[in-house]
Every structure is written in C-alpha cells, then in structure tokens.
Structure 1
C-alpha cells in the first residue's frame, strides 16, 4: 500500500526496495505535468539509522547487554554492536523512538555512548545491513570462524553472529561488496548460508527535481533503477543505468533542466563520468554542485600524519638520543620523534606533504649517525645480488628491462657491488616475478638478506668494550695498588725515590702503566667523542676524553718540565686518572651492550619461528598439482598456492583451499588446543601443521604476516621510553657543558687568586707564574676528574645488580632499574590464562562410568580407553592416555588397529590385548555388580556429542546434564562407547594452579586490581576467573588486541603489569609498564619481559612488588648520595690545592657508596 502526502507542492511516498524499487514509485507519476517547480522525492520507508561510538566495552557480555537494552525499545528493528570497533549500528522507526532515546538507554546501562552524527542518513549513507541465516554452527569456535572469514573482506564494517538465533548480521559498504559475496564467504567456511531476503538500507533514496519550461509540457519519467543486490560489476544494472543516462541527455536538449542527485550509487565510476558529461550549460548555475562526487584528494588530505621507523647506528649514550630528538624536532613537518637507545630504533611522525621517509633518514645521517628505513609505507623494496655482469652494458640491460616492467617504480644496479635495489608495487607483481625477469636476461640472482638478525647482533660491540675493559683492568690494578701504597707511606720516602732529577720511580711506573691505556684502552672513547664534537654536541664521551686527555697531557708536560729544570722533587701527577676512569666506564659499556643483546634476543627468537622455505605449487583442474617449486619464504607472493606437509610450519598467512588437518597455533595465539583447518580456514605463519597435507593460498606475505606484526608490536613497545629515562636524557644534555664551564671557571679563578694573593711558601722552588698555573691546572683537572660520571653511573647500576642478585636468590629475575622503579607503582596486574593462571596442560578431572548400561569394570574401561587414545596426537587424547596409564600403573596396555581420527569430532578404532593385563590388576577397580567380558576385541568410539550421534548412540538426559555442568565450568566433556554401548563420560580441563587464588587475593588486598586476559573462549575464561576470584575478564583477545587493552588502561593513567608465558603475550609484555614472564614459558616471552619468575610461582608476583619497593628505596638513596657527592666533591676539587689527596677522596667515596649499597641490599 502506498501512502501519499501532499504538502508545499511536494509528494512523499514511502517504498520498499525489495517490493518495487525506486522506479516503481516514479512510474506512478508518468502522466503528470508540473506547472512551475516541483519535486518528486522517493525514499525508504520510515526506517532511520544511527551509529554510536561506545566506550566501556570489555567482552561479549557487554555486547549482549547493550543489544538487549536497545532491542527492547519501541520502534527498534535491528541492533548490531561491534566489540572490535566499539560501535553500534541501530535501525529504528523515527516516529516511535529518537536517537537521543537510544543513546540514553545505553548510558543508563553503564556504558558511554556518543552519536557520530545527528542524521543517521548522512553518517552511514554508504552502509547497509543484511541478515544471513547460518546453519551448522555448534560452538563459539564456529562463531569466531565466521566472524574472522567475513570481517577480512573488503567493505565489511561489522559482523555480529548469534549462535543462539543461528544468524549473522553483516554491515557493509554496497559500493565495495555485494551480499551474495558475503553469503559465499560464509559457505566457504563450511556452513550453510541463506540470505533472509530483506536488505536493510541505512540510507537509500532518490531525489528528482523537475524544472519545466514556461509552457506546460508532459515530461516522461526519469528514474534510475536501484537493484537490491546490484554489484558495481553487474552488467545488466550498468546497462540500465547507461540507457537512462542517455535518455536524460535527450531530455536536456528539450527542456530547460532536469537534475538527478544520487545519494547511494550502485554503478561504476565510468558511469559517473557520464553524469558529469551532461550538457550542464542548460542547467541552473547551482546544478553542477549536485553532480559533484567526493574527491579522493579531499579524503586523503585529512590524513596529514605519516609514521616511519629508522634503525640508527652509532648511538652510545643518552646524549646521542637527546641530540637526535632535539635536532629533528627543529625541522618543520616533523611532529614527534621517539628514539630508543636500547633497541637502536627511532619512530618519527611527519607531514608527508613536506617530507618523505628518505628525507627524514638524511636528517639523522647529517648528525653523524647511520640511519636506515626499516619499513616503507608506500611501496615494496627488494635488494638482490646479481652475478654474471661484466660491463656497464649489462647494468643498462637489467635496469632498462626492470624499469619498463609494469609495477616496478625504480631500479638501481651497481656493477662494483653486484647489488640491485628495486622499488615495486606489490599489488602488481612480487619479488619472485622480479627474480625471474632478471634470470630471463641470462643473469644469476639471489635474494639479499636484509639481515633482520644482523642489527640485533651486538657481538662486535661487546667484544670491543670487553677488550677495552680488560686492557684497562690489567694496567688499572697495579695503578690502584700503587695508589694505596703511596697513601700509606710518608713524604720522606717519596722524596728519596727519584731515579732522575725531577722523575720519581712512582711517576715513571704511572707513566708506563697509563700510556697503553690512554692509547689503546681509550680508543673507542676517542672515536665516539670525535663524532660528537664533529657535529657540535657534547656527551659523556667528550667529558671522559677531556678529563683523561688533559690529566695525561698535563702530567707529561709538568714531568718533562721538572726533568728539564732538574727539580729536586718530582711533581704530583694525574697518571692514575685515565686507567681508573677507563676501567669503570668500559665495564659499564660492556654490561650495557650485553643487556642490549639479551633484549634483542626476544625479536631474534620470534623470527626463528618463521619458516625459511616454502613449496609453491601450480594447480590444474580440480586442484590437481601440476608442478612444485621450492622457494625461499621471502619470494612467496600474494595469491600463491603453498603446499604444507604434516609437521611443517605454515610459511605465510593464508586460506586453506584443499585438504583438512589440525594446526598447533599455541605459540602464536596461546590457544592450547589444536585448531581444525579445512577448506576456507585461515592459517597463521609460524604455526605448525599437525597432520594432513594442506594447500594454502597466500593472503599475507613478508611483513604483512601475523608473526611479523607481532615482531613489529614488540619493537614498537620497546621503543617507548620511561619518564625516568627521559629525565636522564635531559640531564645529560646539561651536565657536560656545566662541568666544562665549572672547570674553566676554576682555572681562571685560581689564576686570578694566585697572582693577587700568592703564597710564597707553597712551592719555593718554582717561580710565581709557574706555581700559580700549576695550582690552577691541578684544581681545574680535579674538577673534570671528580665530575666524571663514574659516581652517577655506578651508584644506580650497582644497586640494580645487587637487587637483581637478591631477586635471583628468591627466584625473581629483574632486568634493570626501570622495572624496579616502576613495579611498586603498579595499579593493575593483567594475567594471561593458559600456562599462567592455569597449568597449561589438560588433565582428566572426572571419569563417570555408566555401569547400568556398560556393566563393565572401571579397570577395563580405563584400559580400553587408554589403549585407544594412546594412538591419538590430540592434546586431549594424550591427556586421557596419560591418566589411564597412571591410574592403571603401567605404560603398556593393549593393542590398537583400524585407528581413525576425525578432526573436531573424535576417534574410532578396535582394541585388543587388555584382558591379560586386567587379570593382574588390583581388585579395587571393580564396581559392585559388574561382570567380566571375556571378549578379546573391542570396538571403541570416543568423542563429542556429534560424533556419538553419527555413530548411532543416543545421549540420555542425565548424561547431557552432566556434560553441560562440566562445560559450564570451562571443561571439555567427551563420551566413550565400547562395542556399541555408551559406557563412560570423561571430563578434561586445564587445571588452575594451586597458588593462583592466593596470589590474586593478596594482590587485591594490596590495592591492586587484577584482570584476566586470554585468547580462549569467553565461557572457559569466566569459569577460570571465578575459581581464582578475578572479576574482570577480557576473553577471545588476539595478540594485537592485548596490546590495545594494555594501552587502554595506560591511557587512564594506570600503571599496568602484564603476566604471561607465551609468544602471543610478548607484545603485551613489551607494551606494559612492567612485563612479567613465567619461567616455564617460551624464550620469546621471557626475553620480552622485564621480570622473569623462575619458579613458576604466581606468589612471586607479590614478592616482586615487595622487592621493588625495597630496591627502589635503595636506588633513591644511592642517587641522593651520588648527587651530594658531586655537589660536595666539585667545590672541594675546585678549592683544594692538593690534587692527589682530592683524587684519593674521590676513589674512597665511590668505594664507600658501592659498599654501603651492596651491604644494605644483601641484608634486605
């Protein structure tokens, strides 16, 4: 029925796309003539829509709560809430309910809701929602499978699958994808999918304005048909649109103006050009704006910020970091710079309209550091080694061929190095295509390893500083011994030991010991200092070189002068300063690079999960393999078909196109159970194919794979910088110039004082000028020596070393001062589930024998089941077999044959040879009233409900209730049928650690919030959380989303500690303020964490908080002592005329600082 309302010479006619379409309404005005201006407005029925941005969503329960609240409002027809996008799409009748009422209902439920637009049509004019009936779903895994398959399609905005209702609500962009493709994607995932027949269009309407001539004329209808399921490549729809556009052109020649404004366009861009080509000269002046389409440049102009990552070499201390950040931020177009000294990486955000990534790298190189782009956001980059080139003609041939190939943006070949650098568009061609092009020219080429692990290798730096430390130590120990000896002997002995006039034995020995250290031990300090001075910056290396060089040169000069003057007394020298300083500073640098290498091992081990080779196949009819080719994984291209054999690693992310198997994704996702893979299933690079060969179509290769993204997340998280480190960077920028200025002022001051008020009795053998200058130089050099960073540099590291030693004795490994400084501030602790809260190994928790039907003793049931499951590779099967062997006390049970394993269902087989074993078993296994079956062979079926139904077994209500009870607790229940009789039920679960509940309770009593975060299903996660007392749960969370959850809490101003054990936890461990890894976890998680619990005891999390409080207190005391030491030492050095005694005081105070810190920490 059509309702027509006339007002202001306008007609409004509601209509349904499914029933008629736009032209069905406009044909009703076929024979109408209009006098003056009129408008025909055709729009959808009184159904509006709105999109709301939500905050406070944590899990599926939140989604369900919002949907139930909004669906209960009058006039609301559809609700779709996306947990991933934190948004809700609501279809409603604006005559019955308003957007503000919908928003208020959500906020009353405890969530924050923000309307993205006051007009639902404007906000979502390019979105539609379709409902698909889905059959074959049995569990939450099916729901996740459908959501993963559909959400990856281009143009899909949100996916909500209801297991209970058996349907999926999909919101998509009709310009990018059609509903039929969505339905096909669900079917390809192994489920039945049927479109419900009604497409809810968020905004679908057509406006036609008619401007007739002065004389009344009959104007034929002008309408553009919109098909409900019209795709941009639909040829029939395109033809219909084209014909009507031609008709519009004819009408324009007859009448003054006909304007068509399209709000939802279902046809390709070439037809839009036809609209633009209409004879607009006869249109009103403002009409052309109604034909204007959104400009892609306007859209892209909104994104003015781009991010790039640089790998920087040559940084040695925090002054280098401060120098790079300060100089880059001076350039216009750079918004922020974040440099990490430990990882040697920099993150730069810049305006791509003013700079490009190469220009950013050049800015860093101009400061004297090496800079290399680690990723390029615009194109692919390939580096090859080419052999067989003999002259420049070969180079020209290769470059010409490459640059003329479509998709290759730039090619540069160097004859001398035999290297080629190629930039290409990965959407057009891949690395393997480029290799084949070069090989077709007659040259041999191989992929140049960019050396991901090369920049993680600190072995050269470690060796350098180790040699510097050992050389300084060899000569520094005798120097220290002589210093102690000189402090103990009297002046008369000192005066009588001159071997030459002006040269004492001690000064000669000091000279001989100091010279090798100054030349060879300080070599790397001089190199770094020269680089800093070359670029007009001052760092700690400059200060160290100034102090040691001036001390050495001054000592040599005054010694030569004394010998030339044949002085009776050998002068006081500073030869002892360089060896002592170099020993301590070189030790610090050596330990620093060892720490860097340990941190980098996390990324190296992550990359070791990546397969090195891949088997690329060519398929024929019916997916038959025509040919196979073994290539390195870097040469796999998007769209390649890759063969993965049983036990092999998946080399790339992809989708299964042939075969079925089980995949172990525990290292990536943390899910302990193998995941079934069939046609349409998605696979993850680095995971392991358990059994069954698979053909996989590559969808994400190279840096796009999940594994590489995890690596990227860890690297980005390690780039972040703690506030205390930023403070140290700023402090170092002022410390060096300040000390140099103080030293110069000391020299000038003592010179003035000496000439104004000269004490003749100081050195009677010297002239006034010589005495004054010697005094001034001694004081100035003493300032440099005493102000060197040995006190500040050793006070905190010493406390950290002692603190970590005490922690190690308690089973807690703490990596450096930052986690020690942060751990006591923690306000939220996030626990991973599998392997952290739980043991990570499935165990049999209950065996229920249905003896009313089985009439079989428990011992026989266990023997038969254990024998059958002993052939299974599934973790649940292994857990059952292990339980049976332990209960029966034997590793050998019976024999199994005709074994068949059906992924996702169960197993079937025949078992024999258990009777002989049972005759020797204990009698306590027998149940009252049980009889003994003497048969020698048993038919066994073990699996889930579906597997039992397939084999014709009926499940009683009491058995169903028992299974449901266990599944509610997050456990897995399986059934056992022997010789056609259902005889037992087994409950299997990943059991909770004994100390988990106590650890959680203790943390909560300390005022720390505890959260459970896991990639496992929501029901299991909630059951485990309830057992240990955790109230807040984040379930079904991917590795990247774990990072987002951590960031979300950090943005609220909370300090977050993450406790985990798997590779999937490593990005979150790195992102958290403190990452805590379980000692039994993966090496990658351990390396990415800040704290490692060796004993696998969660109570050590509580202990680490307490240890942090005590250690931080000691670190602060040491910092205060070091500052006081410098504040007192510098004035003493500047005012003390006796440099030797001052220098002894320096060493004494430093030694006492280390001793007090060590003894105090050991007592704690």
Structure 2
C-alpha cells in the first residue's frame, strides 16, 4: 500500500468533499481517501498493483475539479532512515519548492523529500551514515533560502518505501516565477547624467564585464539600472563606485535584494570621522539577528543594510546606529521623486545655458555686426596678425571653453578612458578642435607679422554650448514630463504616519507620535484621522469609515472600512477615525508594487530598441570617420578643381586659395561633427515606452516592459478564461419563476418565497445557496433572515429543512422593492399563508420526484430554457406544493459583449477557453470541457497556426497559459501567481481594458516608428547638408548652425513621444452608443462553434 497526497482546486463545500470521497473510494485498489476542504487536498491510500496515482488524479478531474499530484511525495521509510523537519523561509511559489526538492534529492544519502509551501517546512528522509541534517540545511541555504534546524527534530521511523517523484510537465505547472540562481542577488541603482544610448551602452558594457556581475540592464529614460551580481565577489557599494568612475552619478535604490530580505539605504549618517567609526557601526549591526549585510561608506556618510523584515524594521536599524553615537536617517521618498522628474538635471542645464548665454549673446552680436558691416574684410589690427574681432572673440570664447565645457570634458574623458564614444565626445571634439585651430592660426599669424588677421572659429564653441545646453535643458524638461505618471504614483504615498504605542497590557494607549512613513514597520499600530491618506497597507483594528481607493483600484465609489477590513496605502480615509495595523510596508505595499512594475517596465527594452542601440553604438565612430573623409574630399576637390569653390571664394576674398580650401574643408568637417546626433535615435524608443507605460498606469493598465508593449500590437487572437474573467466569478440569481394556481402553487409573493428559500439556504455551505441567500437579503432589504431547523443536505440533489419566524421577518423588512427577473403566468392572487412553520424542499427534478412533488410541463420547459442559457435551475417546494423555480448563474460581465465586439472590429478573434453562453458575450468560438492542464496546449496550438496570442485569466490554473501566451493579461482581482505570470495586469478588472491595452500598444508602436522617421530623416538629410553635399545649390552650414539643428532633433523626438499623453482609451461611452448598438452582430446557432476539449468535435452550443 502506498500513500499519496493530491491537491484539488474547485471544491466549495462539504458536498464536494463527500462526492469525491464517495466516488473515488468506490474504485478498486483505493483503500481509503480523506479529503480536506481547508487544505484543498486529498490523502489517498492505494494499491499500485491495482490502480495508479495518475488514474486517481484523472478520475477527480473527470468530476469537474482541478487535480495535481503533489510533487515529491514522501512515503514511509525503512528502518535505519532518519527523518528531519527543516523550517524554510524565503519560498514564494511552487518553483521554489521544486528547486529545493530537485537539489536535495540528488544529495548522497537522501531517500526522499517533501516541501510544504504553506507550512514552510521541508520533511527529509536520509541515511545518517551517508549525510547529516546539517549538510541538508546547508544545501538549502546554498539555494538562497533560510533553513532552520529545530531542537529534538530527529525521529527514527520503521520502514522505507522509496518512490521516484512524478515528472512534472510544463502544462501542469501552476507557477512560473523562478528564483534567481544560487548566490545571485539583484539591486537597483539610480543613475544620473545619461544623455543618449551611447551612455547606456557605456555602462552596460563596462559594468557587465566586471567580475561578479551576472547581468546589467540600464534604462535611459527611467535613469535606473537593474544589476544581478554575486555578493561573494562584489558588493553594491563597489558597483555604485564603478558607475561613478564612468562619469555618471549613482545611488542605491531601496528595496533591492533577494527573496525574504529588504535593502535599506541609510542616506545620511552624521558624526563619523574615521574608519573606526565605520567598523563600530558595522560590527554592532552584524551582531543583530535579522541583519544579513551591512556596508558603511565613510566618504558619502551612508550605509547599505540588508535585513529580514520579519525580524526587525527601519526604526530598529536607525535606533541601532544612533545607539552607537551617530545620527542617521533613511533615504527620503522625495529623493526618488526628484530623480524621476529630472529636477537636478533641469537645474544643472538651466545654469549651464544661462552661463553660455552670457558669453554667447555678445559673440553673436559681434559676429552679426562684422558680417553686416563688412568690417571683417578690412579688420582693425591690435598688433600685426591679431584683429580686434579675433581678440574679442578669443576673450569671450575662452571662459566658455574652459568652464562652460567642464561637464562635457568629464563625461567625454570617462567615455574615452573606457574606449567608448558618445555624444559628449563629439561635442568636445568639435569645440576643442575649433578653439585649438583658431588659437594656433592667431599665434602663427602674429609670429609671421601678417598684414591681416585670419578667419577663425572662435564663435563656434560659445554658440554650440548655448544651443547644446538649451537643447539638454528642454530635453530634460520633456523627459520629466514622460515620467510624470510614475512620479504622480509615487506622490500618492503618505509622508507622515501617526504611530500608536500601547502599554504592556496591550489595551491602554501609552502615546501617539507622528513619524515619517519611511520609518513604519510591519506590525505597527497607526491612527488614521479623517481626511488623511492611509500611510501603508494594513488591516483595520478599530473604527468605521469610508475610504476613497480610486487612485489605486479605479473604483470611484468609496469603500466601507470597519474592523477586519483591509486598507491600501495611498488611499484616502474620508469621514471616520481608524486604528489600523500595518501588514505591508515600504517596498512590499500595493502602491510600491505598482510603482515597481512600472519602473521595471520603463527600465526594460523593447526588441526594436535593441536595433537602435546597436546603431547608436556605432554611430559616433562612424561620424568621426565621416568627418575626416569630408575634410579629405574637400581638400582634394579644392586643389584639383578650385573653380568648384568659386562661390565660397567670393565671400572670402581676403583669403588665399590655399587658406580658402583648408578653411572650407575644416568648416564642413566640423559641421558634420556638430550636426550628427545619436541622441535622437537612442531616445526614439525609450521615451515612447516611458510615456506609454505611464499612461497605461494612469488608466489602470500595468504593462511589464517594452517587449509586451511591442508584442501586444501584433496580437491577432485573444483567449479568454471564463470564471472571474468573462464572468464575475461568483453565482448570482438571474431569474425567479413563481408557480401559478394552475401549476399547483398557493400563490406566494416573491418576498414571501425568498424569505423562506433564503432562510433555508442560509444553513447551506454550497455557493449556489449563498447566491440565493444574497438575493433574499436584497429583496427583503435585511441583514439577517429567519430560522431553519432539521437541515439536511443531499449531495447532487438538494436540501430539506423546516423554516420558522418568516412572518416576523416580513413585517420587519422594507416593503418597497420590485424585482425585474420575476415571471408569473396565469391567474395570480397573492395570498400569505399564516402557517408558522414551513417544510421546505429545494433542489433539482430528481429531488422533487423523490419527495413526491410533481413538476408541470410549463415549469419543466421554463427550467430547460434557463439551462440552455447555461444557468442552473433549482425548484422550490413548500409544504408539499411546488412554489417556484430559481435560475442561478455566474453572470457575464456587463462589458464582455462590448469588449468582444470591439476586438472583432479591430481584426482580433476572441475565442473562449471554457464554456459560457456565447450569445451573451458575442463569442463565436467556444472551447468547452478544457481542463486547466490543456489550456497551455490550446494556446500553443493557436501559436502553431501563426497567431500572436494574448491570454486573459485570473486564477492559479491560468498561470501556465499566461506564461505560454505571447502576451499574458491578468485580471487585477486574480491570484498573485497569475499576476506574476502575466505581461499585462489590469488593475480595474474591466474587460474593456484588454481592448485598451492592445489599442495603447498600437499607438505606442506607431509613435516609436514616427520617432525613428524623425531621427533617421534628420541624420540622413543633416549630415550630407553639413558635409557640403548641397554646396552647388548655395547651401553651406556654419558649425553653430549644425549644433542648433542637433539640439532641436532630440527635443523634437521627446516632444513627439509626449503626444502619447493625449491618448484616450476605448471606453464604454465611446463604443456603447450608437456604434456598438447599431453594428453588433446577432449570433445565430449556425455561427457559434462549441468545441469539446482542445481537439474535440464541434457540438451544438
């Protein structure tokens, strides 16, 4: 005999439990079965020679439930084997479970292992002569989990039956999140100073080749780098220093780290004077339980602390540092918002522009004066070879060249030092060459005691710096607008919280104090006054109020909050005072999770951007080569055919032919350097992705990165799950039918009938009964019903009981109620029986017939009509007479048909994976009787036909299909596993948001393509124009003109992306009238295909 556990999803009451136990227990080879409704699992004792475990699982699935054999079942061991139970922390999903089981079972001496995610426990059977419990625990720790060996944990057991674990198929997986590999952690770093794709390539290339760096992904627009690294080789402080060595600003972002731990950035520690102070803080914190890592930097007066939030919190860490005699404060929330809105960069470039303008305007005035007056043809000489114009230009240019270009020199040197070339290198080359060329010309001219003064390029550096600084200033203002949506999300968070401290008796309030929300810890009690923001996620302990959660959930109506209710950080407490307990703080809160999703989306790169990055990476070297070629070509042309430059010679009659040739060649070469711009190419995709994902977040659509955003616009098939997606996910009464006197009824009023039926079903655990109870309370407008006694529930049939106290209930209820879904035929006279006790039967046809209740043909036809619509019809008999029929269904969402109709008009086919009434949703292809394990197969089948498939679901059993689909869309009210597996999350659970997500992606991709057109056309026209290709048409650009055009190109691309902020999503009003009503198709039976299973035959709907 073997014992196994099978997980079962879909059980709703004890009737389900009894049905499974009765059915499976009758199979030959099954010795016993015990089903737990709470644990959602069955423990089966069976004879493997007579029946297999797979057969038992399949039989449970054939009954309409989802079943899976628990991986790594531990059976009874032989004598000599030792059993140990190890507590495991840090597991988040079944992938973690599988990782531990697969690794530990390969250890020498390990007989079997079972890991429980719910109990956070690993049960291991091992041979003590070959291994030990300590080695097993160490192995689990190596997998990045926390393993604890209990006292008195080892027990000797009698016998051993070793069994190979079941091989898990992809279709059977319910989780897709895979933990990071052994000894790898992840951190997020805010990076400032990046201007184009070359900066991104510079950081990714140089940091990526450092020892200990596993991978790095840098987001230009988000100013954020995601780094996976091995902490045993390199730490976050070193990574930050390496990025700073490249010429960029860098700082650690809070919340980094691996599962089970949080990272805190203590941004300002006061009082440190030497390395002894650093050692004192580090050694003190390393002694504290829960602190896993501490690194203090004396130069920046900051510290990085990794800790377990289950053990201690932010205030504890700050207090420990203060106990060492130093002041400390965590990194403020405002600093992250400042990084997002580019506040520092905007101020920096504004100052740079104004500085350059002070010198640039006089240069421009002098240049215009000499050009207009012709004075440059007969210059006034201060000394031989030096004119007044060149002296003034030199004096105005030098301060700009030395001080105004300081930032560019630093960035360019950092790039060149690491063998990179970016936009800053081009700018420095242009200005330095112009300045050096002009100074050398003047020196040579003065040495030769020339009678004139040479034509210099002193006007180029000041003018170029003016336009570059102006362009960068406008560009960062525009970039700040692109991240505005994310900044607004972050600003929703409260800044202060009122901490309530209880006395030792836990009932008396000792004190209340206002603290920063950054210092709130898990388990803290917080007071929330009316009209203030709720500081963090938690549960209400005391008080009643209404909360406005529209900013998080999109629900416009206030939500009632009372003791036991969950509250969301960032929502607004409207009218009552609440005492709450914090459950999720910092990066674990719902708002922080939304912000994290949007940040990661804006850091990730769309596939189309990778092409642009490769082009941008080769762009600068290509431009430098092109500039040299331009100079060489014009020098050759000038010497071989001087007549070509005759038009240029007319404007510079004071120059010799040699000077004219070299000057023109130099001017065109420098202009090529000044006009070429890789920034526009590099900004084309990330600006559009950032604005697009930000707009999506504002309308309740979280898109996890550039790749799903790009893939969504190619989707041609959307597959909908039924329960909780197309439908509301809970049964509702959709129709009531009262029996007339001709049909044997009494006749009762609807209120009377619902009072009796609702009371009877109130004693039932069945979800259909719960729907009836809810409807009865709605009809009667009461919170409590009458009394039911002698209750008896028969699985698969119905219920029977006695109901009393109905008259008092009716008298106390609100009479002003009318019900739409009621139909009554025949001669109706409302009569109220005065009976004090009613004998009630509720159930199906068989239940009525077994109790001697006849069913008239009219009622039977009415039931069949409801059943054909996919509803469950139940009959009600009171005191031996049939009184009515109630139809119950998991109703289709109001917007489902509109969403399907809109998708069809967008050229997208929306089949459904499990059966509902297709007429209600407007779906032509319905795949009925599809088991959860087959959903992946159906999605794959559609993909093999060349379709780009989006899967919309909400449950654990949907997660494999969500991962398999090209785009997985999770309903926000779904399970954490489904949300983790999806590429797009719909916060508001509105099916029209599926339409909006695809529509938004199409708008974003069109905008990206338009941006590329701007960038490519600009460079394809601008570079030849600067190189003198249109010289014969009389068009010649000065270098400062090229710099103005270059600055304009970046601003134009960012501004183009900002137009996405005008996007309006497809709404109910937009498609509801009159388009949808006039255009919607009426489905006939011939148009609807209901397909049984994935490969099954077509059957009537």
Q: TM-score, with normalisation over the residues of structure 1?
A: 0.53
1:737 aligns with 2:691: no
Using the TM superposition, give the Cα deviation of residue 707 of structure 1 relative to its aligned residue in structure 2, in angstroms: 3.7
CA distance in 2 between partners of 1:122 and 1:1028 (Å): 55
* Separation of aligned partners in 2, 1:154 and 1:96: 32
Is it true that 1:370 corresponds to 2:249 in the alignment?
A: yes
Aligned length: 882
The 8 Å contact of residues 829 and 1057 in structure 1, kept in 2 or not, is answered as no
- Once the two structures are superposed, residues 271-330 of structure 1 have per-residue CA deviations (whole angstroms, 9 ceiling, x without a partner) of xxxxxxxxxxxxxxxxxxxxxxxxxxxxx9972332222222222221111111111222
Q: Distance in 2 between matches of 1:424 and 1:932?
A: 70
CA distance in 2, matches of 1:680, 1:1125: 66
Pairwise mapping of residues 510-549 of structure 1 onto structure 2 (< 5 A)? 525=408, 528-529=411-412, 531-533=414-416, 537-549=420-432
Distance 2:966 2:703 in 1: 17
Alpha carbons of 1:173 and 1:535: their partners in 2 closer, same or farther (altered >3 Å)? closer
**Which residue pairs with 1:1125 in the alignment?**
1021
The counterpart of 1:304, out of the listed 165, 183, 189, is: 183
What is residue 899 of structure 2 aligned with on the other side? 996
Deviations 1:40-63 (A, max 9, x none): xxxxxx1154899xxxx99999x9
| 8 Å contact kept, 2:527–2:578 | yes
Deviates more, 1:362-371 or 1:411-420: 411-420
Closer, same or farther: CA 670–743 of 1 in aligned 2, 3 Å: closer
Matches within 5 A, 1:179-328: 303-328=182-207
Q: Give the counterpart of 2:967 among 1038, 1041, 1056.
A: 1056
Query: Partner of 1:352 in structure 2?
Result: 231
Q: Which whole-Å deviations, capped at 9, do the CAs of 1:768-801 have from their partners, x for residues lacking one?
A: 7645643542343243234345886899999999
Q: Is this contact kept in 1: 2:738–2:885, CA < 8 A?
A: yes
Q: 1 CA distance for matches of 2:924 and 2:354?
A: 52
State how 1:1130-1145 maps to structure 2 within 5 Å: 1132=1028, 1140=1036
Per the TM alignment, residue 532 of structure 1 is displaced from its structure 2 partner at its CA by 3.6
1:1097-1116 mapped onto 2 (5 Å cutoff): none
Quote how far apart the aligned CAs of 1:338 are. Answer: 0.8
Equivalents in 2 of 1:1144, 1:391: separation in Å?
50
Does the CA-based 8 Å contact 2:670-2:1039 persist in structure 1?
Answer: no
Q: Which residue of 2 aligns with 1:335?
A: 214
**Counterparts of 1:722 and 1:656, CA distance in 2:** 42
Alpha-carbon deviation of 1:721?
Answer: 1.0
Pair 1:94 & 2:58 matched: no
Match of 1:716 among 600, 604, 619: 600
Maintained 8 Å contact 2:216/2:227: yes
Q: Is the 8 A contact 1:466 1:587 kept in 2?
A: no
Compared CA separation, residues 599 and 990, structure 1 to 2 (3 A) = same
The residue aligned with 2:2 is 47
CA distance in 1 between partners of 2:282 and 2:209 (Å): 41
Partner residue, 1:590: 474
Q: Quote the offset at 1:543 in angstroms.
A: 0.8
Point out where structure 2 has 5 or more consecutive residues left out of the alignment. 86-90, 100-111, 131-147, 163-178, 755-770, 787-807, 818-825, 833-841, 843-852, 875-882, 934-950, 1061-1101
After superposition, what is the alpha-carbon deviation per residue over 1:125-173, rounded to whole angstroms, capped at 9, x for unaligned? Answer: 99999xxxxxxxxxxxxxxxxxxxx999999999xxxxxxxxxxxxx99
Q: Secondary structure at the match of 2:340?
A: coil
Distance 1:588-1:460 versus aligned 2 partners, 3 A rule: closer
Deviation, structure 1 residue 347:
1.5
Deviations 1:663-706 (A, max 9, x none): 88776567899999898887655567799987665554433334
- Please say which of residues 1146-1155 and 524-533 is displaced more in the overlay: 1146-1155
Matches within 5 A, 1:457-472: 457-465=341-349
Write the distance in 2 (CA, Å) between the matches of 1:347 and 1:798. 18
Other structure's SS at 2:234 match:
coil
Where does the alignment leave 5 or more consecutive residues of structure 1 unmatched?
1-45, 130-149, 159-171, 183-200, 210-230, 245-259, 265-299, 862-875, 885-895, 903-907, 919-926, 934-944, 946-955, 974-981, 1013-1017, 1086-1092
- Equivalent-residue separation in structure 1 for 2:962 and 2:1042 (angstroms): 43
Q: Residue 354 of structure 1 aligns to a residue in which SS?
A: coil
Contact 1:50 1:115 in 2 (8 A): yes
1:21-32 correspondence runs (5 A): none
Q: Deviations over 1:345-380 (max 9, x none)?
A: 212222334333333333323323333222244676
- Cα deviations by residue, 1:232-260 (Å, 9 ceiling, x for unpaired): 9898x98x97xx9xxxxxxxxxxxxxxx9
Shifted more, 663-672 versus 531-540: the winner is 663-672
Question: What is the DSSP-based 3-state SS (H/G/I as helix, E as strand, rest coil) of the residue aligned with 1:991?
Answer: coil
1:618 aligned partner? 502
Going from structure 1 to structure 2, the CA distance change for 1:119 and 1:631 (only over 3 Å counts) comes to: same
Distance 1:728 1:58, change over 3 A: farther
Alpha-carbon distance in 1 for matches of 2:408, 2:492: 35
* Alignment partners' CA distance in 1, 2:577 and 2:739: 39
Q: Equivalents in 1 of 2:57, 2:561: separation in Å?
A: 41
8 Å contact kept, 2:892–2:920: no
- Aligned residue in 2 for 1:142: none
Alignment correspondent of 2:762 = none
Is 1:630 the counterpart of 2:513? The answer is yes
Q: State the distance in 1 between where 2:1023 and 2:21 align.
A: 65
Q: CA offsets, 1:1015-1065, max 9 Å, x none?
A: xxx999999867898979999xxx99979999977965x653869999999
Do structure 1's residue 725 and structure 2's residue 609 form an aligned pair? yes
CA distance in 1, matches of 2:360, 2:885: 77
Q: CA deviation at 1:420?
A: 8.2
Aligned-residue RMSD, C-alpha: 8.4
Per-residue deviation at 1:428?
A: 4.6
Counterparts in 2 of 1:532 and 1:112: CA distance versus 1, 3 Å: farther
Preserved contact between residue 501 and residue 525 of structure 2 (Cα < 8 Å): yes
**Secondary structure of 2:714's match?**
coil
**Alignment partners' CA distance in 2, 1:706 and 1:614:** 20
CA distance in structure 2 between the aligned counterparts of 1:202 and 1:732, rounded to whole angstroms: 55
Higher relative CO (Cα under 8 Å, sequence separation at least 6) belongs to 2
Q: Counterparts of 1:178 and 1:1103 in 2: how far apart (Å)?
A: 40
Give the match's secondary structure for 2:337.
coil
Aligned equivalents of 1:112 and 1:910: distance in 2?
Answer: 45
Aligned counterpart in structure 1 of residue 669 of structure 2, from 768, 780, 788: 780
Matched residue SS, 1:339: strand
Report SS of the residue matched to 1:713: helix
Mapping of residues 467-482 of structure 1, within 5 Å: none
Q: Distance in 1 between matches of 2:250 and 2:331?
A: 19
The answer (yes or no) to whether the contact 1:476–1:583 under 8 Å persists in 2 is no
8 A contact 1:829–1:1056 mirrored in 2: no
Partners in 2 of 1:175 and 1:818 — Cα distance?
35
**Structure 2 Cα separation of the partners of residues 207 and 1144 of structure 1:** 81
CA separation in 1, counterparts of 2:504 and 2:917? 45
Is contact 1:334-1:349 (8 Å) kept?
yes
Give matches, 1:1034-1113, under 5 Å: 1052=964, 1056=967, 1072=983
Select the structure of larger CA radius of gyration: 1
Contact 1:412 1:420 in 2 (8 A): yes
Q: Distance in 1 between matches of 2:363 and 2:479?
A: 29
Give the whole-Å Cα distance in 2 for the aligned partners of 1:1129 and 1:639: 67
Compute the displacement of 1:625 (Å).
3.7
